[in-house]
Amino acid sequence: MTYYVAIDGKSYRLDLNQIDGAWSCRVDGSEVKVDAVLARPNVLSLRLGDKAFEVKCERVGSDIHIWVGSQRFAAEIRDPRSLRGRIRAADDEGPRKLTAPMPGKVVRLLLSQGSSVDAGAGVLVVEAMKMQNEVKSPKKGTVQKILVAEGAAVNAGDVLAIVE
């Protein structure tokens, strides 16, 4: 099976095939000798040649982080079957979602629906553990929609507002 794995934004082609219970593995076409044991869910003991690594997989919302020792990598995995629709527009065009950075409570709306907003300006305030965090607009535009009310409890990754 062929995967395209983006690690910290750089894309790699990974061919993983299981033959007679053993893995054959190619990274960008070159053969790598791999031996892996799943120590527990989300923890792999990996051998590359004779070097040993403990690798952890952390899923937060839709993000996947791979930890090699104490180094963290942001990973995006695409296999051919789910390639469609996975490519995100990274530019400033079109509506952009503002999401909650952590679970908490919406304590204040700084702007109302329809008002114009500058890039980096605060749109609303989310509070957790007695600390307040301004959720800022990623772009200049108009606040098209505010999807939460003051006092609402939100989870990390919840869409709070849309800036067009």
SS3 of 142, please? strand
Residue located via tokens 């200049």: 140
Kindly state the greatest CA–CA separation across the chain: 62
- Minimum distance from CB of 7 to another protein (Å)? 5
**Exposed, middle or buried: residue 117 (CB in 10 Å: 0-12, 13-18, 19+)?**
buried
Minimum distance from residue 49 beta carbon to another protein (Å): 9
Cα–Cα distance, 159 to 140 (Å, whole number): 18
Number of neighbouring beta carbons within 10 Å of residue 98: 23
Applying CB under 8 A, which of residues 96, 99, 103, 121 lies at the interface with another protein? 103
- Give CA angle at 48 (43, 49), nearest 5°: 145
Q: Which residues between 69 and 88 bind another protein (CB under 8 A)?
A: 69-71, 73, 75, 77, 79
Q: Least distance from C-beta 16 to another protein, angstroms?
A: 5
**Residue of the chain from 35, 99, 125, 142 that contacts another protein (CB under 8 A):** 35
Q: Which stretch binds another protein (CB under 8 A): 91-99, 102-110, 115-123, 141-149?
A: 102-110
Interface residues with another protein (CB under 8 A) are 1, 3, 5, 7-8, 12, 14, 16, 21-23, 25, 27, 32, 34-44, 46, 48, 51, 53, 55-60, 64, 66-71, 73, 75, 77, 79, 101-105, 128-131, 133, 156
